[in-house]
A and B are shown apart, each in its own frame.
Chain A
Amino acid sequence: MRTAAWLSVLLWSLVACTHDEQPGVILVEDLRVMGDAATLVDGVATVELDYTDALDSGFVIPSARQAPGGAYDWSFKVPSGTSAQGLRYKFYYVNTSYRFPAMGPDGAQHPLAHENFYGSFERSSEAFRSTGPIPAEGLEVKERFRIHGDPREEAEFKDDQGRSLRWARNPRVGRYGFLVVIMTEEHFQQLELPQGVMDISAKQEGRFIDPFWYWLHGPGSTDKAVQVIVPEAQLQVVARPDLGGGIHIPSTAPTNSAGYTNTCGNTPALSRTAPFEQFIHYVDPSTRFANIPLIADVLANEYTPKDHDRYKALFRAEDMVTLRPMTTPTPCATVESDPERDRIILRNPASRPGDLRKENVGIRSRHGLAYGRYRVKCKLTRLLNDSDMWVGLTNAIWLIYDGAPGCMRRPCEKDGYMQNYYGGDDDARAPRVAYSEIDFEILKTPAYCPEVSFPPTYPQPIADSDDRAAWAYSTSDARMDKPGAITVACTNWDMACHDPESFGAGMPPVDQGRQDLPEPPLEQGLPGGDPESGGIGRGAFRG
């Protein structure tokens, strides 16, 4: 794969500038995380997610293609005479770009901190490791770590045979920080650490204990006999799916293979490695549109809004043809993965005489990520012709749930979620649902907001050819959209949970005081870390 070749030149050798979080005992020195400082930029190493084998196993950072043995080094030195019986130590990582503060306003663990993406040793139940007795001349401890999905190995992310589905809770993109906790063997034996601290997969009183709260803000932060170190080295994780890496055709697609190519189809190789699949839209069988059966080149100005008004009003009902939006009968015929130019091409097929159709065309990524700043670069077809007639295409980017087990929305406290995607006012309510969808769509339509001006007061059309004013509503000054203007819309399928503050329709003005994305109440990096490392919208995803 393209990425594998040049990712291998990335060296994750970070200097381990560190600082201790609280004054107290100094047990170790020269803590290094990810090797030397030679290639670091401002203390941050950057790595791209390796998609090669990530479909079943989830992303692993680093992969075997990115670092020897598929792991990063970390080490520390124990000076002579530190402790005869040796030391106990534990290593943690956490995604700092997308996390809740570890500590709540009352000093206790933040009620949502358990959602943070943190991990420790690969076997989640492993507690503190031991150095063993320290030789007289001291000791250098060399360890390795990697970041992987489902680091707490939670029950809800397992299949029916008890196997961990790490892809169901993939590592988040963005910045990662680290934490090392060290104490003497004697102190370790005296301490009665909670099980949820010893074992990150264990719950205490029904919830996980965030080690970054426990050791930096909670009971562990006041223990002077414990050395708590936050390395200044950080890791930036970026996802860049390879657009030339192929498109897989899922088994739910039509079986016609006439359109298959080397980079689009259902071969075992594409099934294993392709980062995208052709998206076959669900079309409600009851959806039917009566269409004017005219074929005209809209972008060549062969069809105008006035034409559409007139045909809509005066075209005989029995001459209209009824059909619903379609999906492709020939997979790969309308989607193409181009490895030469690293791109994907989507083509919406035109109607032809005898083959009148409206088709949905799309692709979907095959690897789910919960957070990130997504950047999609697309060249779009013109949407309007010279007379402001829309070609009918809606360009859309959807962030949509991937069906992973265990990925449920946070409980809706007030009145629950609508249980079904198409649920109406009478739909049953559920405290938790899995469905999630945020859409960005580019089309020609009246603005839905502000609510005060929607919907426009279009005249009622009348089938009267003798009076142009009876049917020519497109030229009505009741129209609120401007000639040449298109709409860029965002829809959050919130499943009607009323929990959010100021829940409502539309987009009220938000005074951010600056030209940037809204900042959610997420923690701005680890204490002592780079303040640029935290918060949604700060370089989390470089696509």
Chain B
Amino acid sequence: MTGHHGPAAVLILLLFSCSAPNSPEPAAAGVPPVPELELAVMVTTDPPPFDRPCKVRSQVAWQRRDRIIRPVLHWDMEESAGPDRLTTTFAHSGRSSMVMGTDMEYGPSICRKVNEVADTLVAVGMGFWMHCSDPDPLLTVVTTVHRGEEQLAWYGKDLRATDNHPGEWMRFNVQHPMKEIKLMGQDRICCFLWNRNASTILVDDVDLVFLGPGVLGKRSGHGPDLERGGGAAALPFATVADVTLLDPREQGIHVGKEAPPDSRHEITIRALGGMRFSYGPGDAVARLSSPTGEVRALVRAWHPTLAADLLDHEQVMVMDGPKGPIITGFDIDVDSNNGMRTIAASPAPRSAMLHLTLPVR
């Protein structure tokens, strides 16, 4: 499936650390300050300037038993403990970018153990913006695989001169499949840039992703096969016949206030003759069950006026209403100092009562 741009609210949330490309002119003294959030970085032991990845993407993680998997790293090249490798001459976004000068044939190497970045690693992707005046800089993006002292594999993708745009910011994306190697958890994957022509190359907004076969953390399993038959039938969706928009504050949800604890909701819907409505954290959709517990339908809390799914929030609260379930969704801001969870202003909390009808069986 190809990706798609979503509503502006989400764009703002995710794009704050990457402003529009600058024109390739030296940064002047009067450039706007970098937003504070852009400076929200993590501290790692990677060599500068890769020692300060952006939190907003790089901290996403999945805990599997006793280990934490972080499959995504992103650097905006605005901060480093060793700032010598950052320059404000040109930047693709923000104020600065990394410079690989004539003295640097091999860029800093970013290394991770397989079990730190993936459950099942199938490919390593790297993408970045680059700026170089050399018509043929002979740049190669390299991924190596190591087991102990042994190098198991070496992958490289060259920037062909015909693809190069000297003097312009251009995107260089690489994906190195790992299908030929039976990887082990302690194997180390290293990525770096090989500046074979010793050109002056500026690099900005770097992504490094460790890709698995599907969604990380999603339980495996199979639903009904409509062709082969057998097994359970596909669950239908209940119809949302009507939606009444409500004020989230009437449900006790106020922006900036402490968020209620997240929990599973299971309530009886009087308007549906005692059907049970259940929704748990992490579910994509809610479920309608008979009083005896038989799941009858899935529920997508779609609001046609808002053109949004009310369950599309980091936290959801469900109550019984006169016509059907009242669903209130909101996102959470976590204070990194004290761990306090407050109701986020963006995206704004939303609340509505759904009038549901069950599908005809």
Contacts and interface: CB of A to CB of B under 8 A. Distances in A.
Given A304-B7, A353-B359, A452 B173 contact: yes
Contact of A460 (B1, B18, B71, B304): B71
Contact of B281 (A311, A324, A458, A466): A466
Interface stretch (B42-50, B211-219, B264-272): B211-219
A313 B215 contact: yes
A319 B163 contact: no
B52 to A, nearest CB: 18
Contact of A459 (B57, B170, B302): B57
B218 to A, nearest CB: 4
Contacts of B57: 459, 469
B207 A459 contact: yes
Interface stretch (A10-18, A203-211, A227-235, A442-450): A442-450
Interface of chain A, main secondary structure: loop
Nearest to A509: B162
B7 A387 contact: yes
B173 A474 contact: no
B284 A315 contact: yes
Interface in B58-93: 60-62, 71-72
Nearest to B55: A469
Nearest to A456: B173
B167 to A, nearest CB: 16
A28 B132 CA distance: 72
Contact of A307 (B218, B219, B235, B309): B309
A539 to B, nearest CB: 33
Contact of A314 (B13, B284, B304, B308): B284
Interface stretch (B26-34, B101-109, B220-228): B220-228
Interface string A278-304: 000000000010100111100001101
Interface size class of chain B, counting residues whose CB lies under 8 Å from the partner chain: 35 or more
A497 interface: no
A488 interface: no
Contacts of A374: none
B15 interface: yes
B173 A454 contact: yes
B112 interface: no
Contacts of A310: 284, 309, 312
A311 B301 CA distance: 13
Interface in B273-322: 281-285, 298, 300, 302, 304, 307-309, 312, 314-315
A106 to B, nearest CB: 33
Nearest 8 A/B pairs, CB to CB: A305-B4, A457-B127, A317-B221, A306-B6, A314-B284, A460-B71, A452-B163, A463-B217
19 contacts: A290-B223, A293-B237, A305-B6, A306-B7, A322-B222, A390-B2, A457-B209, A460-B72, A460-B212, A462-B62, A462-B71, A463-B215, A463-B218, A464-B62, A465-B283, A470-B60, A475-B15, A478-B173, A479-B3
Interface of A: 288, 290, 293-296, 301-302, 304-324, 353-354, 356, 387-390, 444-446, 450-481, 483, 508-509
